[in-house]
Each structure stands twice: as C-alpha cells, then as structure tokens.
Structure 1
Amino acid sequence: MYVLERRSMFWLDDEEKLFLTQEIGYSSVALTGTDAQLGEMENLEEFVLRPAPRGMTMKCRITRDKKGMDRGLFPTYYMHLERDDDRKVFLLAGRKRKKSKTSNYLISIDPTDLSREGESFIGKLRSNLMGTKFTVYDHGVSPIKAQGLVEKAHTRHEMAAICYETNVLGFKGPRKMSVIIPGMNLNHERIPIRPQNEHESLLSKWQNKDMENLIELHNKAPVWNDDTQSYVLNFHGRVTQASVKNFQIVHENDLDYIVMQFGRVAEDLFTLDFNYPLCALQAFAIGLSSFDSKLACE
C-alpha cells in the first residue's frame, strides 16, 4: 500500500472566495476502493447530486449510442460508474431535445425514460445561440414559470456554467474552457445558487467578476509534443485516443489536482473521472457540453 500526498480541496465562505490547501493522505484503497467507500446506492437521485467523497476519484465511462432512426443526429449518452470488480453501475443518461432553438439536453436517472415530464428527470444542459456557453440546471422549476408558493419554493438550482473560447491558433490549437460552479461551505456542502433572473445567473456573475460563493475552474493547458506533432496531456492511461474533446479541469491555485478529466478511448466510448467538489450530474453535463460545443469540431 502506498500513500500520496497532494494539496487540494477548496471551498468558499460567505465573505470571500478562499482556496484552502491541506495535506490529504491518499492510499491505494482511497484511490481505487470505490466499492468499499460508496456502499450500495440506495437513492440514485441523491447520489448523483452529492459531491464526490474528498480524497477519492470517481472513475466513470460515457457511452455514445448513435443507433436508431434519428440517433445519428441525436445520440443518447450513458454514464456508468466503474467498480473494482469490473462491473459498471448506471448513473445517468442524456439526450438532446429535438425541437429546441438552442442545444438542450435532458438528463435522467432512468436510461429508458428521457422525457421532461418523467419522474426520473434530474437536470438539463442548455446552450446559448452560439453554442459556446452552457448552463447546467437541476430538475427545479424555472423562476419564470413558477406560479404558486410551492413552485416558487422549488425553483431550480444552477449547478454549473461552461464557456468555450478559441485561442490565438483558432480551431487548430487547443481550445480554452472555463467552468464555474457553486462554492462549498465549511461542511463541504454545495452553496445553493438559485437565480431569480438572468443577472443572478452563474454566467452573469462570472462575466461581471462577482465571484462570491463561486469557484472558477479551467482546462489544463496541453503541451506541444514534437514527436507526435500534437498537443498532449498526461491522462495516466485513462485516455488512449487523440481527440479535441480530451481535457482536464483544474483550479489555477493547484494545477496538479485534477478536478475532472475526460477523453476518448474508442469511437463512441469515453472515460470521465471526477473529484471533489464535483458531483456526477455536474461532471456528466460538462462532458455533454464538450460533445456539443461549436468549437468541438473534429
């Protein structure tokens, strides 16, 4: 058994954005012992909304299903958690809605029910008209549609915002990606972000540099490799094929702590690994945005 020490774990208090570092001991059990630490997922809805356990990497697979009449244009995506015994546990499914002006993905905890009205609807991912900015919501009610007191008490949370931009090399170079998520309190719980209008949204706050109770993450800049004549990142064997969709998400204060990594291993198979403070829904939606982004041309 080996132990790794790594500086990590950030959270925000009510007054200002803080990025605290602490020494966390990682054992081989903590890194791979998902079965022992996760236990049985009695409540899948609760599980996919809960931040990953601190000190433990959640290793997942994303499968893209293009089979069927219209799935070439509207694939279904499935996220499974990889267990130690090589079995896979279903977590989430997502599919783009057909009659939306912008990209709009429904996310469900039932692989057979991807309807907005279904009981398994857990969240959605919506883009702007340009397809370069995305917002992740839970299954709450839109503040515009909330009528009675009950609905207003259950207005939706914003779980994340994702922004893509080209770099000086345009489409030929690695793209830049920013991820904004709610901060964490002293109990390592997500601080609720429930905007009542556009000005209170994650994207607006980020653009106005109002980062109280928010965390800003970025993709790790890849390094040019003369041998392969391409930009590369070290995925430690979890990614096996080159793709513009491959990325790692980090915080600028700790570039060695990989909050999330995503990459291709086959034509329609991708690995997605995430750590605290992300939950499965946030990580899955960030992955979906990578498939959809107008800058994700291949």
Structure 2
Amino acid sequence: MSFRSIIQDMRDEIGSISRKGFEVKLGYGLRSRSHRAVNDGSGLPLVDALKQSCWANIPPELLRDVLMRIEETSDSWPPRKDVVACAGVCRNWRNIMKEIVKTPELSNNLTFPISLKQPGPRDITLQCFIKRNRTAQTYYLYLGLTQALTDDGKFLLAARKCRRPTCTDYLISLDLENMSKGSGSYIGKLRSNFLGTKFTAYDAQPPYAGAMVSKSRSTRLVGSKQVSPRIPPGNYPVAHIAYESNVLGSRGPRRMQCLMDSIPASAIEPGGVAPTQTDFPIGSLDSFSSIPFFRSKSAHVEQLPLPSAGQKEGKLVLKNKAPRWHEQLQCWCLNFRGRVTVASVKNFQLVASEENGQANQEHDKVILQFGKVGKDLFTMDYRYPLSAFQAFAICLSSFDTKIACE
C-alpha cells in the first residue's frame, strides 16, 4: 500500500467517525458537541467506537513512521494543517506528534499555539504581517505564506485596544473574534503609561520557572465568571518598552529601548539559551477547544536560571537601529530589504544593545523589524530569542499615540 493511500484511508476513517455525531477538536482529541459520549442508535457509545478504530490501534513503530513522513513532507502552511490534524486524532497520535514536532527555534515552523510563546528561529526570520482595523481598534497578526502580501496568510494572534483614564491596554488573544480578558483564549496584554512613552508587556502565564506575578488593578477586578476558576490569568512582566523624548522635532525618528525581563543577555551569544514554554497550563485546556491548534495536557516550563528582577545587566536589552539621513531623498532611511515600502515614524529595527557586552556580529543582527507597506498593513519580521507574542506586543507599542515623542 502506498503512502498516499494510507493517508487517504486515515482521512476516510476519521470522516466516517465525525459523520456519526463527533466533532474533531484539533486542540485535544475527539469529543462530542455536548462534551459527553453519545450513542449512534446501536447502543454502543461512539467513544468506544473510536477506541476500536483501526487507526487508534496502529503499532507504535508503524504509527511513528507514518507521522514522521507527514511531518517531513509538510514544511509550511497550508499543508502543515495535516500535522495538526494528526495530533487531534487520539491520545496515541498526539503523544507521538508531540515528540516529533520541534520548537520554532529548531524547525523554523509555527505549528501549535504554544509555538507563539516560544523563541523564533536562529538562522532565519519569520515573516509576518499585521492588519489594522481603525474602526474597531483591533490588530491581527498573520504568518506570511508567500513573499507577496496579497494572500490572507495564517492567522496567529489578535489584539484589541482599550482606552482607560490613565493608560491604554492592548489585550492579546488567540481568538480572532473574542479578545476579552475573560475569555479562555486571552494570553497577555500590553499596557502604556498616560503619555504613551512607556509600555509593559505582560504574559498571562509564567514565562519561566519562578516568574513573579505583578500586582495590578486589573488582576484584582477579575471575577470568577470571567476566567477559569482553577488557574486565573496573571500579569507576568516579559518586556519593558521605553520611547525617548524626540529632540529632533516632529519630523525626526523615534528612539526606543526594550528591556526583556524573561530573556537573559547571553541568549544572543552562540550557544545562548532563552526560556522556552512547552505547554499551556491545565486551566486553559477547556478554553482552547475552538482554536484550530494543539494544546498539551501538562503544565511545564523549561527550568532555566534567570537573573533577579533587580539585575538589569543580566537581561537582554534591545534598541532601535539608528537611521541615516539620505541627502537626495531628504529623509531618514533604514535598509528593510524590501519588506517596508512606506515611510512612517512607526518603522523600526531592533538590535541588541551594546550594554549586553562587547559589540560583535551577533549584536548587529536585526532581531525584530516592523514597517508600513499600506494604509493599514504592516510587516513584522522576528527571530530568536523573541517569540511571536513578544514581538507582536512590541510592535503594538508603535501604534499608540505618543504625545512627547512626535
């Protein structure tokens, strides 16, 4: 039997089960629409029918070989949806797929939701773009599927702007529609000060072992009906972004600096390691059932030593790359390698600050770049040691109005 016929048989088997009343949940196995077992009229629960499926009882050696071939042949979206679909068939398939699929740092791919919290590739940059909806004050992050920005891309994250009397919050969610903090898809936020010159990015879950939650008014106001009663979301600082006052006038470029609380300065050096979350907490399991990605059962964060909150020199500091003045064009210019086409004060490139150590080739690499390509379309390219969530939060700070910077 050919490999193609094996895949076709698997699809037919899964389709026959779903037609009997099941809904394939790509997040955590198969469950009924009422979240309990139902009968197909013969008196046999469909859960038992699933256990008797030939695909659920494939010998582990054969199953591993089949799933490895699927993983190797699906290196980009949309074919990579087959990898996610395999992880949602049953527990045996899911456990093996968890072992096969590597982190973005090693595979250069974003596969499951937890990939958005993990550091990006070391050797390449992941090219994404952000769409802005001015009317709804929402922002959507997509993974670019082609070099052209005309395609829809793969949806990754969404954010909604919430104005408050003394600050502005950007709530970040895995859900395209529900971006409230009370939803189970909420994963973090970005908060600004009154002037819009300083921002703090918060992760809803600990970014590394021993992370300290930040006390704020929002955490005290969260009620039992808004979040899961088992593990409510917290405010764990992961980045502090500061924009300096613009001394060059309204037409001068912005100057910004990012202090990454959860990333050590040594992460950019050869052999350096950044914290890597591996699973969402147990309290979020039921919340991600409608998201077409994968979530894991355990709540584990890689044990990595990080400096204490008072040791600023031990954390990674990013600064924007200084633009140069172009005499012929009479404007400030940066080399975005064709990824940015419209001049804007929002455009920036972030590199490692020399405060992290002696200047070398690693400090000259652009870790995150953001720029305008249309009226409400922006590109976002990032790499290790930033994650998609951290990069998105930093870029959201550029959208906010800055009274003292422009």
- TM-score scaled to structure 2, two decimals? 0.54
The one-letter code matched in structure 2 to 1:58 is: L
- Asked whether the equivalents of residues 349 and 368 of structure 2 are also in contact (C-alpha less than 8 Å), the reply is yes
- Asked whether the equivalents of residues 165 and 295 of structure 1 are also in contact (C-alpha less than 8 Å), the reply is no
Q: Report the counterpart of residue 127 of structure 1 in structure 2.
A: 192
Report the CA distance shift for 1:283/1:166 in structure 2 as closer, same or farther (over 3 A).
Answer: same
The one-letter code matched in structure 1 to 2:347 is: N
Q: Report the counterpart of residue 41 of structure 2 in structure 1.
A: none
- Aligned-partner Cα distance in 2 for 1:40–1:153: 26
Question: How much does 1:129 deviate?
Answer: 1.9
Match for residue 141 of structure 2 among 58, 73, 79:
79
* Secondary structure at 2:332 match in 1: strand
Larger Cα-atom Rg = 2
How many residue pairs align between the two structures? 242
Aligned-pair identity in percent equals 43
Farther off after superposition, 177-186 or 51-60: 177-186
Question: How much does 1:157 deviate?
Answer: 2.1
Match for residue 220 of structure 1 among 292, 308, 321:
321
- Aligned-partner Cα distance in 1 for 2:163–2:397: 16
- Asked whether the equivalents of residues 133 and 162 of structure 1 are also in contact (C-alpha less than 8 Å), the reply is yes
Deviations 1:51-87 (CA, angstroms, capped at 9, x unpaired): 10211211100000124xxx3xxx1100001124866
Q: Report the counterpart of residue 166 of structure 1 in structure 2.
A: 245
Question: How much does 1:156 deviate?
Answer: 3.3
- Aligned-partner Cα distance in 2 for 1:255–1:40: 25
Where is the strand percentage greater, Structure 1 or Structure 2? 1
The one-letter code matched in structure 1 to 2:325 is: W
* Secondary structure at 1:183 match in 2: strand
Q: Report the counterpart of residue 116 of structure 1 in structure 2.
A: 181
Question: How much does 1:154 deviate?
Answer: 7.1
- Asked whether the equivalents of residues 254 and 405 of structure 2 are also in contact (C-alpha less than 8 Å), the reply is no
1:282 and 2:383 aligned: no
Report the CA distance shift for 1:65/1:167 in structure 2 as closer, same or farther (over 3 A).
Answer: closer
Gapped regions of structure 1 (runs ≥ 5): 1-32, 193-199
Question: How much does 1:288 deviate?
Answer: 0.7
Gapped regions of structure 2 (runs ≥ 5): 1-74, 81-106, 206-212, 223-228, 278-307, 354-358
Q: Report the counterpart of residue 175 of structure 1 in structure 2.
A: 254
Report the CA distance shift for 1:165/1:233 in structure 2 as closer, same or farther (over 3 A).
Answer: same
Where is the helix percentage greater, Structure 1 or Structure 2? 2
1:136 and 2:201 aligned: yes
- Asked whether the equivalents of residues 126 and 381 of structure 2 are also in contact (C-alpha less than 8 Å), the reply is yes
- Aligned-partner Cα distance in 1 for 2:276–2:259: 13
- TM-score scaled to structure 1, two decimals? 0.72
- Asked whether the equivalents of residues 245 and 291 of structure 1 are also in contact (C-alpha less than 8 Å), the reply is yes
Match for residue 341 of structure 2 among 221, 240, 248:
240
Question: How much does 1:169 deviate?
Answer: 1.1
Q: Report the counterpart of residue 211 of structure 1 in structure 2.
A: 312
Report the CA distance shift for 1:100/1:38 in structure 2 as closer, same or farther (over 3 A).
Answer: farther
Root-mean-square deviation (CA, aligned residues, Å) is 3.0
Q: Which runs of 4+ in 1 moved over 6 A?
A: 150-154
Higher relative contact order (CA 8 A, sep 6+): 1
1:188 and 2:289 aligned: no
